[in-house]
Amino acid sequence: MAKPRFVFLLLKEHPYGREMLHQILSAGYSPEMIIEEDSPVADEEREKFLKRIEGNEIAPTIDRLSIVNGIPLVTVPIHNSSEVMPHIQGMDLDLIVFGGTRIIRGEILDFPKDGVVNSHPGLLPECRGSASPAWSVYHDIRVGSTCHFCDNGIDTGEILLRREFPVKRGMTYEDLCYGTLVLSGVLMKEALIAYDKGEWTEMRRPQGASDFPTFRNAPEEVLEVVRERLSKQDYVHYVD
C-alpha cells in the first residue's frame, strides 16, 4: 500500500482539529488540502471546546500548520456538498478525514474511494453524539475515543480503532475532555499508519447496538453532576 491521498475538514481553528492535524503530520501524513468552515456554528463549537479543555496546551493553529507544511487552506461558509465538492471534485482521493465538524451527510461521504473517517471522543457504540466525556461520567460509561467510518447516521459507522482513556482519581472534567481530544488524534494517526500497511480490511467491524440514546450537548445541570461525581470520586471506572 501507500500513504493515503486525503483532504482534512474541520470547523475553523477548532482545537480538536488542530490536535488531530498536528498528530497526523507528525507521522508524515499530509492532506492534499484543508477545508475549514468559518461560520457561527464553528465559532460556537470552537469556544465550547476551548472551555472544556481550559488550562491545557493546544496544538499549533491551522493557519500555521498549513503554512509550515505547504498545505492549501480553503475556507467555506458551511461543510456541505455544494460548498465542498467544487474544491475536491477533480482529486483522486482515497479518504476524507474529519477533524471536528458539524454532522455532514450526502455526496461528500460517497466521494473518496476508501471512505470518510472520524475520531470521536467517546467509546462507540455506547456514547454517541455530543459531550461524550460528560455523559460517560454521568452514566458510568467508560471514557475513551473511537476512530470510525462516517455514514448517514450520527457516530454509527464501522469502527477501526477504539481505546479507553485511563481515568485517575483527582482528574477534572477538563482533564477528561483534553485526554480524549488527544487520544482521538492519536487514533487517527494510528489509523492512517494502518491504512498505509493495508490493515483496514481486517480491522473494520460493525458497532452493534447501544443501550444509551444518542446524546445531545450536556446542559449545565448535567455538568454539575459530573463535576460533583469527579470531586467525590464516585465514578465507577477509575483505574487507580
Say yes or no to pLDDT of 109 above 90.
yes
Say yes or no to pLDDT of 80 above 70.
yes
Strands 73-76 and 95-98: unpaired
- Average confidence (pLDDT) over 122-149: 97
Query: What is the per-residue pLDDT for 2?
Result: 79
Distance CA 55, CA 102 (A): 25
What per-residue string of b and e applies to 23-55 under the rule 16 or more CB within 10 Å gives b? bbbeeebbbbbbbbbebeebeebbeebeebbee
Say yes or no to pLDDT of 113 above 80.
yes
- Cis amide leading into 125 (omega within 30): yes
- Average confidence (pLDDT) over 195-211: 96
| 1-42 pLDDT per residue, tens | 679 999 999 999 999 999 999 999 999 999 999 999 999 999
Query: What is the per-residue pLDDT for 79?
Result: 97
Query: What is the per-residue pLDDT for 1?
Result: 62
Q: How many CB atoms sit inside 10 A of residue 198's CB?
A: 10
Residue 100 banded pLDDT, cuts 50, 70, 90: very high
- Average confidence (pLDDT) over 109-126: 97
Query: What is the per-residue pLDDT for 6?
Result: 98
- Average confidence (pLDDT) over 178-184: 98
- Average confidence (pLDDT) over 77-104: 96
∠ CA 186-52-230 to the nearest 5 degrees? 95
Q: Report the chain's C-alpha Rg in angstroms.
A: 17
Query: What is the per-residue pLDDT for 153?
Result: 92
Strand order in the sheet with 116-120: 73-76, 33-37, 6-11, 95-98, 116-120, 144-149, 159-164
What's the mean per-residue pLDDT of the chain? 96
- Average confidence (pLDDT) over 48-65: 94
- Average confidence (pLDDT) over 73-80: 97
Domain 6-232, second-level architecture: 3-Layer(aba) Sandwich (3.40)
Distance CA 161, CA 146 (A): 6
